Structure 1
Amino acid sequence: MITKYRSQFNQEFSEEKYQKTKDLVKEETGQGSVFRLSESPIFLTKDFWEKLDDASQSIISQIKQMPEEELRKAVPNHCNVPNDTQKPHFLAIDFGICQDENGKIVPKLIELQAFPSLFGFQKLYEEIITEVYPFLDALKNSLPKEEYIQKLKEVIVGDENPENVILLEIYPEKQKTAVDFIITEKYLGIKTVCLTKIKKECKKLFYENDGQLIPINRIYNRVIFDELDKIEGLETEFDFREEVDVEWVTHPNWFFKISKYILPKLKHEFVPKSYYLSDFPQNESLENFVLKPLFSFAGSGVNLNPTQEVINEIKDKNNYIMQRKVDYAPVFKDINGEFSKAEIRLLFAWNPKSENPELLVNLVRMTKAAMVNVDFNKKDAIWIGSSMAFFEQ
């Protein structure tokens, strides 16, 4: 959207530089990225940033005012984890880069979650892409690397010894986000531990390292608890619903509380109208709405063109929303003169000692497909996949 920088990047781009970007990721992590990296970042205007900031700050303010008892209703009984916290440690807010009815480029809220995303990898990616394309360095407006890492440490490690803090995932080596786990270990000095490897004695949890059992005092949680029941043959010593002596970062209940569940409760010009499916008005047209499960992840279960027949088949209508469709703007020009669309995710960390969360980094997903998700892209297209945004200074 900033012609000067788009033109410069496209002129400097080469397949060799794209390969160098991927090689540097592999060099830093010991493995390549499983998810596709886009060939290009995106460039957004100061005006667009101000709209993003206004919308996200309004959303944060509204979340803070929501009664705890109202948010607690989002947590399914079978997923309730003891020792909930007053607020989450992380917040990710996804905006589509869209066109309004007047053709103006505006952000539109797509979804949000109180769950950590690629905080480690996105900082690494920023360092790498600015090394490969030095002109981008002048556009960086994020924290210096050491200060960034310190902010993450304050939230994730806190006052604990890093040895007693783990990143928890289920079969982490099989996850698409494994590169993020590796970088997080490097940045914070913590271990990534599979849920199946956790040992439990009374209310204490342990993991094994070099033949020794190490007490776990804090868990940087990357497990989507709701997904565990879908894994066949899963055997663990520790059940999330048990009361144990650990601090959660962030507590699993927040995955449900700040999710698509609150979209119908939010009000802002850049928040598309949403309804719980059970409350969908008869005077609204289905063709103007997208059907989404409340707690799906990575686009799972989303229906872009719901019909009345599909809706009639749904028994648990309280677990779905209808969200007004938005028009993604194909404004990111590739070297062949074709255009990609994009979503931007703002990644906030929320230090328990701070009144408000702090924006640390962003993540961009580019596509030429109907759904803006890296899994839905055509394999032979370019300017698609995971990237980040640089903003006009």
Structure 2
Amino acid sequence: MISKYRKQFNSSFSEQKYKDFLNALGEGFPEIPFRVAETPIFLPADLVSKLVEAGAEIIKLIQQPNFGELTKGSIPAQWNVPNENSQPHFLTFDFGICKDEKGDLVPKLIEMQGFPSLYGFQAVLGKAYKEAYGLASSLTPFLNGFDEESYIALLKKVILGDCEPHEVALMDIDALEQKTAIDFYITQGYLGIKILGLTDIFKEGNSLYYREGGEKIKLKRIYNRLIFDEIADKTDLFKESFDPREELDIEWVTHPNWFYRISKYTMPFLKSEFVPETYFLNELDAVPADLENYVLKPLFSFAGMGVIIDVSISDIEAIKDPENWILQKKVVYEPVVQAPDGGVKAEIRLMYLWPDGGEPQLCINLARLSRGKMIGVRYNKDFDWVGGTIGLVEGE
């Protein structure tokens, strides 16, 4: 979107450069199982300014004294974990890039999470694009004055706290089998923490441990990457490890309840030019006359699962649990990234770190490119110039 960089990039692009980029990015790691796009996005300063403003408005809501009360209905009873702390450690806000009535670029909120994203991988990805394509040294994936050194220092502070690396584990179900395993390896490289699957951890009393070299090691913190919805039908795994819903002597980074509090559930409470109109389905006074301009989303799903794009009245009438759905004004993405054969739609994820006792800090970003009906792998299977990427901005 910064035209001078886009023209330079496209004019010098080749499939061989792209292959070399992917090889350099994946060197030393298992094969990356998701598509990484051919190009970064060059984000202009005025759009970045609007993204920052939009993020600040959301954070203002999250920091309201009554936020806990507003979102008390967001946590499913079967996944309510004790000892919730007063703040999430991670915030990620996804914005579709659109145009307003004046033709100016504007971000529109799509989704939000109080849950970690690819905080390790994105730092490596930004550097890989710059090196592989010989991009200007002034371009950076970092925001808010951060650079690689200060970013990793804050990431370390947030995840480790006062603990030693061996006392902290990044946890997911079958962690090294996840599609995001490369992020786990990179994070381990930065911080020295353990990567553990759920069943690698066991409980004695109310403490959690893992074994290494025959030695029993106590865990003090879990960098949680497990989404409980993914194991809803696999709770027998708790018998082999531990049940997170019990009282435990463990610190969560971030506490699992924040995954639900900061989510699609939060969106109806936001009133902003950067947020599409959103309603809890059970609180809707009347079905909008222009229903074709809305999308129906289940509250408790992820990765776009269950979303109804072309909504009909019969779809709404068929919903048995309207309290668990939202109706949201459609966001019309603008194909703002110029590929060699046409425009591509873009989504930008702002990624914040929130240290204990501190303030949330915008550090880095994630981006996705799409030619399909929706952002996401299954809508973009047969396209090029789509997939995961990152926004680069001109440094100060």
Q: Under TM normalisation by the shorter chain, which class is it? A: over 0.9
The correspondence of residues 94-113 of structure 1 with structure 2, limited to 5 A, is 94-113=94-113
Query: Post-superposition shift, 1:391?
Result: 2.2
Q: Counterpart of 1:305?
A: 310
Identity of aligned residues (%): 47
Q: Which moved more, 1:108-117 or 1:14-23?
A: 14-23
Once residues 182 and 136 of structure 1 are traced to their aligned partners in structure 2, the CA distance between those partners, rounded to angstroms, is: 28
The one-character-per-residue Cα deviations of 1:137-173 (angstroms, maximum 9, x if unpaired) are 3111623323221111100001101001000100112
Query: Post-superposition shift, 1:66?
Result: 5.1
Once residues 172 and 367 of structure 1 are traced to their aligned partners in structure 2, the CA distance between those partners, rounded to angstroms, is: 28
Once residues 65 and 101 of structure 2 are traced to their aligned partners in structure 1, the CA distance between those partners, rounded to angstroms, is: 31
Once residues 311 and 195 of structure 1 are traced to their aligned partners in structure 2, the CA distance between those partners, rounded to angstroms, is: 38
Q: Counterpart of 2:283?
A: 279
Q: Which moved more, 1:214-223 or 1:140-149?
A: 140-149
The one-character-per-residue Cα deviations of 1:283-336 (angstroms, maximum 9, x if unpaired) are 51321111111121111111111212122121111111011001100121112x
Q: Secondary structure at the match of 1:135?
A: coil
1:197 aligns with 2:200: yes
Q: Which moved more, 1:163-172 or 1:366-375?
A: 366-375
Q: Which moved more, 1:221-230 or 1:253-262?
A: 221-230
Q: Moved runs in structure 1, 4+ residues, more than 6 A? A: none
Query: Post-superposition shift, 1:128?
Result: 1.0
AA aligned to 2:352 is F
AA aligned to 2:15 is E
Q: Counterpart of 1:390?
A: 392
Mapped contact 2:293–2:330 kept (Cα < 8 A): yes
The correspondence of residues 1-393 of structure 1 with structure 2, limited to 5 A, is 1-28=1-28, 30-65=29-64, 67=66, 68-140=68-140, 142=142, 143-231=146-234, 234=237, 235-282=239-286, 284=288, 285-335=290-340, 337-354=341-358, 356-379=359-382, 381-393=383-395
Q: Which moved more, 1:342-351 or 1:202-211?
A: 202-211
List runs of 5+ in structure 2 lacking aligned partners: none
Task: Label 1:38 to 1:156 Cα distance change in 2 as closer, same or farther (>3 A).
Answer: same
Once residues 287 and 218 of structure 2 are traced to their aligned partners in structure 1, the CA distance between those partners, rounded to angstroms, is: 57
Once residues 84 and 141 of structure 2 are traced to their aligned partners in structure 1, the CA distance between those partners, rounded to angstroms, is: 34
AA aligned to 2:273 is E
The one-character-per-residue Cα deviations of 1:35-93 (angstroms, maximum 9, x if unpaired) are 10000011121111111111111110111115122222211111110100001000000
Once residues 231 and 287 of structure 2 are traced to their aligned partners in structure 1, the CA distance between those partners, rounded to angstroms, is: 39
Once residues 63 and 144 of structure 1 are traced to their aligned partners in structure 2, the CA distance between those partners, rounded to angstroms, is: 26
Mapped contact 2:141–2:390 kept (Cα < 8 A): no
Once residues 283 and 229 of structure 1 are traced to their aligned partners in structure 2, the CA distance between those partners, rounded to angstroms, is: 32
Q: Secondary structure at the match of 1:73?
A: helix
Mapped contact 1:290–1:325 kept (Cα < 8 A): yes
Once residues 169 and 199 of structure 1 are traced to their aligned partners in structure 2, the CA distance between those partners, rounded to angstroms, is: 14
Once residues 85 and 233 of structure 1 are traced to their aligned partners in structure 2, the CA distance between those partners, rounded to angstroms, is: 27
Q: Secondary structure at the match of 1:125?
A: helix
Size of the aligned set, in residue pairs, is: 389
Q: Secondary structure at the match of 1:311?
A: helix
Q: Secondary structure at the match of 1:200?
A: strand
Q: Secondary structure at the match of 2:285?
A: coil
Once residues 357 and 133 of structure 2 are traced to their aligned partners in structure 1, the CA distance between those partners, rounded to angstroms, is: 37
Mapped contact 1:365–1:385 kept (Cα < 8 A): yes
List runs of 5+ in structure 1 lacking aligned partners: none
Once residues 249 and 384 of structure 1 are traced to their aligned partners in structure 2, the CA distance between those partners, rounded to angstroms, is: 31
Mapped contact 2:294–2:328 kept (Cα < 8 A): yes
AA aligned to 1:293 is P
Once residues 84 and 272 of structure 1 are traced to their aligned partners in structure 2, the CA distance between those partners, rounded to angstroms, is: 30
AA aligned to 2:274 is F
Mapped contact 1:25–1:32 kept (Cα < 8 A): no
